[in-house]
Amino acid sequence: MVDAAIRSGTHERECVFEVFARHLPGGRRYGVVAGTGRLLDLIADFRFTDAELEWLRDNEIVDDKAIAWLADYRFTGNIWGYQEGELYFPGSPILVVDGTFAEAVLLETLALSVLNYDSAVASAAARMVSAASGRPLAEMGSRRTGERSAVAAARAAFIAGFGATSNLEAGRSWGIPTMGTAAHSFTLLHDTEEDAFRAQVAALGVGTTLLVDTYDVPAAVELAVRVAGTGLGAVRIDSGDLPEQVAAVRRQLDALGATKTRITVTNDLDEFTIAALRAAPVDSYGVGTSVVTGSGSPAAGMVYKLVARKGSDGEWLSVAKRSAHKATVGGRKFPVRELDEAGRATAEVIHVGEPEAATSRHRPLLVPLMNAGVPVERYRGAAGTALAREHRAAAMAELPADALRLGRGDPAVATRYE
């Protein structure tokens, strides 16, 4: 497209592209925007290396004029968007990219990859956080998603309210609290379960978490307290019928005097099994596969669409496609969240063409994210990630109470174009 647009002389037309989802996946009631902070740095650093340009030339993918243009590429436009951690609904323009056609269209795949994956994880994770009713959750799913996506997933789950991750690189890159765990292999490595527990307590102290289901759970619980004492931090259960198992382990720990020892569970949990454990004496959850794969919806369904451009006369023009069931709404959008007197969200109002005058009942949703190709500092790095987590909590507090229901339903607030 860039090649053909350069030849037709249209590549420098000023354009507005928007990222939005046509619907929320799987009958969910809200989505959580994530990936934005990560995307800003990826866009700022987006360049073509000599090796890449050479490959494009050798394989005649584009012509020499396009190669020369790509060699100088860097994004110089402006980007607005929903603050990371914000909720979204069908049609919410979560990212607005303003630049020439060629510089903006080139970002389509990168922007969608990041926002589709990270928002899918955050949207699933936020429901797990609600289902856990205040008990802490740790993300432990690195092994169930691509090796780089694992770091992004840990970050997205943290923004959605998870308390920690087992992914150390996410701790290093994004300042997310990390936690470790011992696998069954650590127990099997040692001559006896007792040797394994002693080795772990020697390295990590009695505050550590011992895995008690390698062989026989009651025997392991008894052994764990004998080795670490009643000050043992926690035991982890990774198999079996959890509500039953957890109650039995709690009774046993209490009988042994380890009344402060916590119980953490990790057996293929998702938002529904977490909710089913509400009445069980669980102290924390470790979640793997379901959170890093978006719990049934591994891509958020975001698309990147041209909504306005300047014509040959220099005037702005709204554009839209009319494809069956996939028509788009042309024109630059100015979304606000409409709130009632109690501060509860009642609608996603998307003004087309012009912003409306500000009122106390309408919270504007777009913030500037990149100015002339430079990311806004406040949304970057560990500080930006922590800010996104806070923003998500504040935005969720505006939701009507029944939005947190796990069952399928309509979006918690309706979208209205004005």
Residue entry with tokens 């802490």: 136
Count of CB atoms within 10 A of residue 371's CB?
Answer: 12
What is the spatial distance between Cα 125 and Cα 193, in angstroms, rounded to a whole number?
Answer: 34
Q: State which of positions 325-344 bind its own copies (CB under 8 A).
A: 325-326
What is the spatial distance between Cα 41 and Cα 406, in angstroms, rounded to a whole number?
Answer: 34
Stretch that binds its own copies, among 183-191, 224-232, 333-341, 367-375 (CB under 8 A): 183-191
CB closer to its own copies out of 14 and 283? 14
Site string for its own copies, 234-273 (x = CB under 8 A): ----xxxx--------------------------------
Q: State which of positions 94-123 bind its own copies (CB under 8 A).
A: 101, 105, 108-110, 112-114, 116-117
CB closer to its own copies out of 110 and 393? 110
Least distance between its own copies and beta carbon 289 (Å): 5
Please give the angle made by the CA atoms of 265, 299 and 131, to the nearest 5 degrees. Answer: 35
Least distance between its own copies and beta carbon 154 (Å): 12
Q: Considering the rule CB under 8 A, would residue 72 count as an interface residue with its own copies?
A: no
Q: Considering the rule CB under 8 A, would residue 289 count as an interface residue with its own copies?
A: yes
Give one word for 147, left, alpha or beta, with left for phi > 0 and alpha for psi -120 to 50.
alpha
Q: Considering the rule CB under 8 A, would residue 408 count as an interface residue with its own copies?
A: no
Stretch that binds its own copies, among 26-34, 90-98, 192-200, 388-396 (CB under 8 A): 192-200
Least distance between its own copies and beta carbon 206 (Å): 13
For residue 6 the two structure tokens come to 């350069």
Least distance between its own copies and beta carbon 135 (Å): 23
Site string for its own copies, 160-179 (x = CB under 8 A): --------xx-xx-----x-
Give Cα separations from 314 to 12, 317, 372 (angstroms): 12, 9, 20
Residues across the chain: 418
Q: Considering the rule CB under 8 A, would residue 304 count as an interface residue with its own copies?
A: yes
Stretch that binds its own copies, among 232-240, 249-257, 337-345, 401-409 (CB under 8 A): 232-240
Stretch that binds its own copies, among 88-96, 125-133, 307-315, 389-397 (CB under 8 A): 307-315
Count of CB atoms within 10 A of residue 60's CB?
Answer: 7
* DSSP code per residue over 356-370: PPP-TTEEE-EEEEE
CB closer to its own copies out of 296 and 355? 296
* H-only helix segments in 318-400: 381-397
Q: Considering the rule CB under 8 A, would residue 323 count as an interface residue with its own copies?
A: yes
CB closer to its own copies out of 13 and 135? 13
Least distance between its own copies and beta carbon 234 (Å): 16
Q: Considering the rule CB under 8 A, would residue 363 count as an interface residue with its own copies?
A: no
Binding test (CB under 8 A) with its own copies, winner from 92, 119, 209, 214: 214
CB closer to its own copies out of 257 and 296? 296
Q: Output the 3-class SS for 85-101.
A: CCEECCCCCCEEEEEEH
Q: State which of positions 123-152 bind its own copies (CB under 8 A).
A: 142-150, 152
For residue 133 the two structure tokens come to 């009713």
Give Cα separations from 343 to 221, 376, 390, 402 (angstroms): 48, 28, 17, 15
Binding test (CB under 8 A) with its own copies, winner from 45, 47, 216, 219: 216
Least distance between its own copies and beta carbon 253 (Å): 19
Count of CB atoms within 10 A of residue 92's CB?
Answer: 26
Strands 414-417 and 78-82: unpaired
What is the spatial distance between Cα 333 and Cα 353, in angstroms, rounded to a whole number?
Answer: 6
Q: Which residues pair with 305 in a beta bridge?
A: 18
Please give the angle made by the CA atoms of 198, 255 and 206, to the nearest 5 degrees. Answer: 25
Q: Considering the rule CB under 8 A, would residue 64 count as an interface residue with its own copies?
A: no
Nearest residue to 167 via CA among 294, 274, 270, 288: 288
CB closer to its own copies out of 180 and 364? 180
